A and B are shown apart, each in its own frame.
Chain A
């Protein structure tokens, strides 16, 4: 098994529909101060933080190189600072590479996104498409995900009723998460009556607009004891990029997620995820993605997502006890939110929703339309 890195502390603010009274810098500062308080870490150039990784999105921040807007509040002045402009989970992979390569042994990883700032998050994702073939058609992550939903639901016999179950459960779990976005508890009937949004996706099948920020302190295995009695380790990371054009691939195949999870499992020495892992946090941007990613990470059988829900797979495998992305995280930061939930369980801090004796957890995240890019990390107590 390869070397591992430690997560010494995490901090976050509550997921909120609209922090109109907070700048994103304020959101980050709260997390930053919490990390400082929890760990007593310093900015000493010999033993303190010399490298900061931030995660943000220029389009959501409405300024280019948007990390420049908050380097001061994350302690990055006069230090190494690098921005992860992709899904936040890849910041953990990047931190892992930094530490395991010996580049640095202590990293502050901060991220923010104020989705409510922009008039339309769909317009942001429309700009992710090229200006010739896709953008003029109005392609965005929602209508592209809808295509994947249609094809996947057909393949895996996932019905509207299954998705209603996923949504209802997500909101219930979200209520148990002190940092979860405050959403109305809904019944399956209400979900099924929610208006069509982009067929076959209904409005309630899609995660809500959310503002959020987080911080994490990461270090080498050796130094963890300086900052915490209770470190959680990242033991595997894998990512995979699928083709860009939707028509080039079978959008139900889970190609990139299978590849990403296999890489992560190989690094962490996982033989059978169903037995070896006690907790899964999956980035369900829309309800259909929960069973689909469950197939991709190997806890639901291929093409059996509907049956897996019927058989109680979501509870059996402790999937998305946080409420998941579906309950509300900013698009960019679902992976960090997933990893933070895993951290709570593995460090025995998850309160009422604690999975007893959890030793290993998987956090997964995706970015791009129809899960084009996938990344998976394996975490251990």
Chain B
């Protein structure tokens, strides 16, 4: 402490003090989950009151309008939002997180009903306007407070795929006798729309890895809708039980299928005929015949399909995925007879040859649609030259798309797009974004695929165009 003499009061003194008391505060269970989700998953969550339907941000335990207990009613909200009010703080003070001048803004995140306060920067102060779109920038180092969102910045102007598609001419198929020749020269028709598929679930991606993987029909519908909005023309679906296990139960698969169709009538649904580990051939096929989706997967190899540590080679789960020639033939026939277009899954060149061999029976209608799958433990890893070899082995009228497990995902789809093929993304194959962050959902990977298409100047296929290209009829 210091003392000093006051002018004119030489017999007096003042004491200089400071209130400083270190504290630990408990954020509460609700607050802790909110903050740690931002910190660990770069994801912002609110709570939705089921009584008044208000999505509160910050979250809280009870709705103060109707006293509903909402502590477990978590919903994801977007990292983007709209400025509803702001001030420019032009004074400096010790409690402020930035030097003056800086902008504090009330920001209503997409999906939330209550705006919340945050810092807005990375733009000129004069450009700040009510109504401007902004996005969260997450902190590099955690403080376990709201500053784990470091600040908001103006959102990148993003014109939706649907807006672009509405202004361009719809693609019409042309007779292309020399397609394969062009392909071989690496000069595909880049004006041909690229079909983006989102594989929403798979059989093995679980909520403890990423909460946006759908289990319930309603969750599938919501995720499918987000993917469609982002630019996907098709979703690939492994239906799940409430607890997350992959299911072959017709009723559950039908409910999932119908929920997606209700929410998003245009989108093409490709149901799995693999379903999940340990399912019998009958369980795998009968649901396809019962539901008759527009597209279903058709697997071409009996192969190892396990889980192996990528670094050490240690085997975690050993499993042989059975797809005998008889099964390939029976599945293929049943699909074609029921008007279900097979998506022929090739985990290596042998699988492609298997399909071509069985195809000599005249089972498959043109165009055949192939999917080159990379990085399954038991299949081949992604290699650019392998991709080209498979592409060159396709029949002339065939289409190809591709998907890759884990870090193979983005390189393989980019190569496919360059070579005139299509792209599949989604949480079935990979739960991360190119920068290693967790994806907010399959839709965010769809956005990456759209960006790839945009950068290569390829239009993103509408659902109608995708049907024309793949030779399927809308149901």
B81-95, CB < 8 A from A: 84-91, 93-95
Is there contact, CB below 8 Å, between A245 and B90? no
Using A132-B27, A147-B87, A245-B116 as known contacts, say yes or no to A137 and B6 having CB atoms under 8 A apart. Answer: no
Contact of A21 among B9, B23, B31, B64 (CB under 8 A): B9
Q: Which residues of chain A are near B167, meaning CB under 8 Å?
A: none
Residue of B nearest to A200 (CB): B87
Q: Does B245 contact A (CB under 8 A)?
A: no
Q: Which residues of chain B are near A126, meaning CB under 8 Å?
A: 95
Contact of A199 among B25, B57, B90, B118 (CB under 8 A): B90
Is there contact, CB below 8 Å, between B95 and A123? yes
Is there contact, CB below 8 Å, between B97 and A137? yes
Is there contact, CB below 8 Å, between A132 and B90? no
Is there contact, CB below 8 Å, between A245 and B93? no
Is there contact, CB below 8 Å, between B91 and A197? yes
Q: Report B17 CB to chain A, min CB distance, Å.
A: 6
Q: Does B210 contact A (CB under 8 A)?
A: no
Is there contact, CB below 8 Å, between B85 and A147? yes
User: A19-32 vs B: 1/0 string, CB under 8 Å?
Assistant: 01100000000000
Stretch at the interface among B141-149, B213-221, B341-349, B460-468: B141-149
Q: Which of A59, A200, A245 has the most CB of B within 10 A?
A: A245
Residue of A nearest to B60 (CB): A245
Q: In the bound complex, what is the Cα–Cα distance between A201 and B97 (angstroms)?
A: 20
Q: In the bound complex, what is the Cα–Cα distance between A119 and B53 (angstroms)?
A: 44
Q: In the bound complex, what is the Cα–Cα distance between A21 and B89 (angstroms)?
A: 33
Say which size band chain A's interface belongs to. Answer: 35 or more
Residue of B nearest to A127 (CB): B95
Question: How many CB-defined contacts (below 8 Å) exist between A and B?
Answer: 114
Q: Report B254 CB to chain A, min CB distance, Å.
A: 42
Is there contact, CB below 8 Å, between B117 and A137? yes
Q: In the bound complex, what is the Cα–Cα distance between A151 and B130 (angstroms)?
A: 10
Contact of B57 among A21, A119, A127, A247 (CB under 8 A): A247
Stretch at the interface among A67-75, A138-146, A217-225: A138-146
Is there contact, CB below 8 Å, between B117 and A247? yes
Q: Which residues of chain B are near A59, meaning CB under 8 Å?
A: 19
Q: Which residues of chain B are near A134, meaning CB under 8 Å?
A: 117, 146
Is there contact, CB below 8 Å, between B114 and A245? yes
Is there contact, CB below 8 Å, between A136 and B86? no
Q: In the bound complex, what is the Cα–Cα distance between A137 and B102 (angstroms)?
A: 11
7 new A-B contacts, CB < 8 A, other than A133-B58, A146-B87, A246-B115, are: A21-B6, A126-B95, A132-B35, A134-B117, A245-B116, A247-B108, A248-B114
List chain A positions with a Cβ less than 8 A from chain B: 20-21, 59, 62, 119-120, 122-123, 126-127, 131-140, 142-143, 146-147, 150-151, 195-201, 243, 245-248, 251
List chain B positions with a Cβ less than 8 A from chain A: 6, 8-9, 12, 14, 17, 19, 23, 25, 27, 31, 35, 56-58, 64, 84-91, 93-98, 104, 106, 108, 114-119, 143, 145-147
